[in-house]
Structures are given as structure tokens and as C-alpha cells.
């Protein structure tokens, strides 16, 4: 069956993303249908809107997001290819400061973010415009994690022609070249094809514009089939680039970089490299009998939980609102007990002592520039179970108790019941949340403004007795009731 234009667009965008990611020596992305659905739905919403804006899911850090819109004053319907829109986002590399990990380069940094693994994209048209939305998981652009997640282009690629700030992958034509041809094999499947025969071949040739340059793109989609009827596809793209004359062709697009033309314009959602996110630190590995060894030294209790720097300790902690904190804690308790009920675990009860400890940690973490990390605090001679979440955003926006608890509970999708795991990183917040032997809960919440103007929200939950105890998962993490 012939591939639809939208399917080709998605395939091309994925291949272009992975071409750029390969240049930066980060893992290739896999396509995800759920991210596609959310991206397509939001693209259709933005196509009818006057302004580009970050989606609610992206603002909560549920997924990363890149957005682009092309508009035209002419009667013809504007369109954009998967390779073009990916190139637009990648151009933000020019704005990224590798030394500081800052700049209005959020589209680029999300595109090559090392820890991101899944990708989905949507495209929607409206009169005079086309909107593209891409969603990524896990979300990138997490404050304090740029150095390890946004590596510069690999040396081999740099030597082949990739400069910092270049807009093309290695091997592409330089801006001064009159003409050049690049060819890139974009594999849909990396499996060998020697046992396959060619079933069909589709060729598409068209011209696109990148800045003032005209690029003729020849794209060949080849479908292979083996003797058992299994099929694989390979997309091979050839790009012939020629520099436009000083006057430019009559139908040249107007770009956001200032070049003039027909009245068509590309626009991307301009992102800082520290947009909103919501995340939790990796919980510790299972412990023995609910305890763990004390640290070799006894640090200052004011900074022991966070490792906060001296500068952090000097920052003022926001004034507490006891009534608001108690109301939030009750909502968290209700949300957690709702989930525990489905796993045949008794409801937790709020502890004022644990709430005070949790609030202290939330306040310490909220004024700290360091990444979120679990505490080593003990209670009644035992370490506490804990779940933490944080969001950093440009606006003073809140997150509901139900949403935060929902994120922790969603980790249960990765849990295999009736097992004794040795690594709980993918689901440790979930298993602690429904841990049958836990009885008491403490909740802390703090919103603080950081020196750069961003707002940091931190939520902390302490559990006693602790969960995630080695060899006790089968008895304490029960399957949900049917």
C-alpha cells in the first residue's frame, strides 16, 4: 500500500532527527504512537490559534515539545517537510553556549537530548498556515543537566564539515558553495537486508528552501520483502543544494532570520534551555530491613539532605502558609490512598512530624541550584521512604497534588508483579506509594524564585516505615484489584 503524505512526513522527521543525533553521538530515537497522538492533537489545536504556545503537558514536563509554524500570504497552501522542520529546530545550535549550557536554544537541545528515547510528531493545516508539533519522552531541557545531555558534534563529524553553529549535517554544502550534492541513507530498520528482495520503489523529487539557498531533494522509499512475507523499508535521500542569486527567485520564502521573499514565514516556539519540567530523582536500590548505613561523616543537617552549596544556604526561604500546606498535604494523602486502595494496601495517615521533615527538605531543595536528590534523614532509627518531584519554569505555575501523585503512580507500568527486583529505578516511586507495610506519610511543598528569575517547585513525600525493602516486594506490592 502506498504511504500517505503524513506518514512520509513522520518517517522523514524521525530519520532527520536521528541523523542529527548521530552527529552528536547520542542514542537514536524510536517512534512512539502515543506521542504521535498527543502531538497531532496539539498541532490541530494550534493550527486554529493565533499564537504559538507550549502545551499543558509540556509545561508539566510530561513530555518535551518542539513547535514550528509556516505561514503564507499567498493563495497556495503552505507546507513543510520533515527534514525542513527538523533543520529549523537544529539551527538553534547557533544560540547555544556549550560552556555555560545556556541560550535560547531549547529546540536544538531537545532534539539532541541524550536521555530522550521516544519521539512522535504531528502536522496540521489551516488556511494560510501549517503547524508542526513534536513530542519527546523523557522530556529534555532539564535544568542542571545540559552538560551531560547536550554533547557537541562528534569530532569525526566536525572534521567532515560540521562547524559549531552550522545548519547542516556533516557533508552538507557550505554557504559559499555554488552547488553540492549530499546523500544520506536513512534506515527505517537497521537489520541486514541481504535476505530481502525489492518489493516496491517510490521516488519523489521536489525543491525546498533553506535560508536563501534552493535545495532539490530526491527521496526514494524502497520496500523490501523476504520469503516469509516480512517487509522492511529504507529511505534514501539525495539533496542538491545551490546558492540562490542575490536577487533571489520570485517565490523565495521569507525567513525568520531576516531574508525577504514571497510573504511566507517560518516561526518556531522560542525556547530557553531551562523550560518547565517535572521530574523525580532515581530512588535508591532496595534496602535491607528498611535501614541503610549512616554516612561516614556527619554533615550539617541543614545541608545534608541536599548537598546544598554555601550560596544556596544564603538564599531566603519563602514564608510558609500553614493552611495552604495542610490543604495540599491532604490532597496528596487522598490521591495516594486512592491508589493504595486498588492494591489492597491500608490507607496512610498524615504525621505532623514527617510533614515538618518533608517541608524542611522541600525548602532546602527549592532554593538550591543542584539537581534533586534523595535525603538521608532517619526517623525513629530508620531511614524514611521518599518520593520527590520538582519543576522549574519561567512562570509561577503550580502543579496539583493529583498530578504529582499520578506521575509517581504511572511508574507502575514498568513493574513486574510477584518478583523481587534488584534495580528499582524505573518504578521505585510507584512501589513505595503502594507499599503495604507503610503507615505514615509526611508531605512538603515549596515554590521559590531562583536568581535567574525562574521558579522552582519542589514536592517531597516521606513514608514510614519505608518501602522498597529487599526480598519484601511480593508481600508488599500487590497487583491492582480487577
Q: What 8-state DSSP symbol labels residue 426?
A: T
pLDDT of residue 2: 58
55 φ/ψ angles, rounded to the nearest 5 degrees: -70, 165
Dig out the grid coordinates for 317 from the structure. 526561604
Hey, what CATH topology would domain 310-476 get? Answer: Pathogenesis-related Protein p14a (3.40.33)
Q: State how far the alpha carbon of 289 is from the alpha carbons of 285, 286, 465, in Å.
A: 13, 9, 10
For the cut 50, the answer to whether the pLDDT of residue 161 exceeds it is no
92 φ/ψ angles, rounded to the nearest 5 degrees: -60, -10
Q: What 8-state DSSP symbol labels residue 130?
A: E
Contacts by residues 284-289 (CB-CB < 8 Å, ≥ 24 positions apart) = 284/374, 284/424, 284/428, 284/468, 285/422, 285/423, 285/424, 286/421, 286/422, 286/424, 286/468, 286/469, 286/470, 286/471, 286/473, 287/383, 287/466, 287/468, 287/469, 287/470, 288/469, 288/470, 289/469
Burial class (CB in 10 A: 0-12, 13-18, 19+), 352: exposed
Strand partners, 449: 455
| Nearest residue to 421 via CA among 343, 477, 345 | 477
pLDDT of residue 301: 30
What number is the average pLDDT over the span 373-380?
81
Do the domains 310-476 and 5-268 match in fold? yes
Average pLDDT, the chain: 75
Domain ranges of the chain: 5-268, 310-476
**Of the candidate ranges 51-60, 71-80, 253-262, 420-429, the one whose mean pLDDT is the lowest:** 253-262
- 69 C-beta neighbours (distance < 10 Å), count: 25
Comparing 423 with 268, the larger pLDDT belongs to 423
| Nearest residue to 394 via CA among 144, 33, 54 | 54
Mean pLDDT is highest, among 111-120, 208-217, 362-371, for 111-120
Confidence category of residue 227, pLDDT binned at 50, 70, 90: low
Q: Hey, which CATH number is domain 5-268, 3.90.180.10, 3.30.930.10, 3.40.50.80, 3.40.33.10? A: 3.40.33.10
pLDDT of residue 419: 87
Mean pLDDT is highest, among 230-244, 273-287, 289-303, 362-376, for 362-376
**Of the candidate ranges 218-227, 382-391, 442-451, the one whose mean pLDDT is the lowest:** 218-227
For the cut 50, the answer to whether the pLDDT of residue 92 exceeds it is yes
For the cut 80, the answer to whether the pLDDT of residue 305 exceeds it is no
pLDDT of residue 303: 31
What number is the average pLDDT over the span 452-458?
84
Full-prediction pTM beyond 0.85?
no
Amino acid at each position: 500500500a502506498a504511504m500517505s503524505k503524513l506518514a512520509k512526513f513522520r518517517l522523514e522527521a524521525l530519520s532527520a532527527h536521528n541523523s542529527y543525533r548521530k552527529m552528536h553521538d547520542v542514542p537514536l530515537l524510536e517512534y512512539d504512537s502515543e506521542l504521535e497522538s498527543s502531538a497531532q492533537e496539539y498541532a490541530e489545536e494550534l493550527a486554529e490559534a493565533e499564537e504559538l504556545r507550549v502545551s499543558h503537558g509540556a509545561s508539566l514536563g510530561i513530555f518535551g515539545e518542539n513547535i514550528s509554524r509556516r505561514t503564507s500570504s499567498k493563495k497556495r497552501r503552505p507546507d513543510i517537510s520533515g527534514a525542513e522542520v527538523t533543520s529549523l529546530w537544529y539551527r538553534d545550535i547557533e544560540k547555544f553556549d556549550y560552556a555555560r549550557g545556556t541560550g535560547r536554544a531549547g529546540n536544538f537541545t531537545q532534539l539532541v537530548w541524550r536521555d530522550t528515547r521516544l519521539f512522535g510528531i504531528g502536522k496540521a493545516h489551516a488556511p494560510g498556515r501549517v503547524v508542526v508539533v513534536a513530542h519527546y519522552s523523557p522530556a529534555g531541557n532539564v535544568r542542571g543537566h545540559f552538560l551531560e545531555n547536550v554533547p557537541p558534534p562528534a569530532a569525526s563529524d566536525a572534521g567532515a564539515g560540521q562547524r559549531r553553529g552550522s545548519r547542516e549535517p556533516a557533508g552538507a554544502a557550505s554557504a559559499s558553495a555554488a552547488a553540492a550534492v549530499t546523500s544520506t541513507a536513512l534506515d527505517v530498520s537497521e537489520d541486514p537486508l541481504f535476505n530481502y528482495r525489492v518489493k516496491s520503489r517510490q521516488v519523489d523529487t521536489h525543491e525546498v528552501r533553506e535560508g536563501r539557498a534552493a535545495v532539490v531533494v530526491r527521496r526514494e522509499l524502497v520496500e523490501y520483502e523476504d520469503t516469509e512475507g516480512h517487509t522492511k523499508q529504507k529511505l534514501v535521500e539525495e539533496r542538491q543544494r545551490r546558492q540562490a542569486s542575490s536577487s533571489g527567485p520570485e517565490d523565495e520564502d521569507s525567513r525568520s532570520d531576516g531574508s525577504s521573499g514571497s510573504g511566507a514565514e517560518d516561526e518556531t516556539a522560542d525556547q530557553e534551555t531551562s523550560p518547565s519540567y517535572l521530574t523525580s530523582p532515581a530512588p535508591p536500590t532496595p534496602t535491607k530491613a528498611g535501614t541503610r548505613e549512616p554516612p561516614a561523616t556527619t554533615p550539617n543537617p541543614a545541608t545534608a539532605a541536599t548537598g546544598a552549596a554555601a550560596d544556596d544556604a544564603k538564599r531566603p526561604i519563602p514564608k510558609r502558609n500553614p493552611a495552604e500546606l495542610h490543604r495540599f498535604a491532604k490532597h496528596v494523602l487522598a490521591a495516594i490512598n486512592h491508589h493504595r486502595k486498588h492494591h489492597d494496601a491500608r490507607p496512610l495517615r498524615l504525621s505532623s512530624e514527617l510533614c515538618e521533615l518533608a517541608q524542611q527538605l522541600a525548602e532546602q531543595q527549592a532554593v538550591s541550584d543542584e539537581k534533586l536528590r534523595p535525603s538521608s534523614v532517619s526517623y525513629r532509627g530508620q531511614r524514611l521512604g521518599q518520593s520527590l518531584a520538582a519543576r522549574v519554569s519561567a512562570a509561577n505555575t503550580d502543579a496539583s497534588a493529583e498530578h504529582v501523585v499520578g506521575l509517581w503512580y504511572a511508574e507502575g507500568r514498568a513493574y513486574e508483579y510477584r518478583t523481587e527486583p534488584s534495580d528499582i529505578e524505573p518504578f521505585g516511586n510507584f512501589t513505595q506509594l503502594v507499599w503495604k507495610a507503610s503507615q505514615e506519610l509526611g508531605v512538603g511543598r515549596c515554590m521559590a524564585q531562583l536568581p535567574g528569575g525562574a521558579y522552582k517547585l519542589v514536592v517531597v513525600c516521606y513514608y514510614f516505615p519505608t518501602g522498597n525493602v529487599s526480598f519484601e516486594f511480593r508481600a508488599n506490592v500487590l497487583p491492582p484489584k480487577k
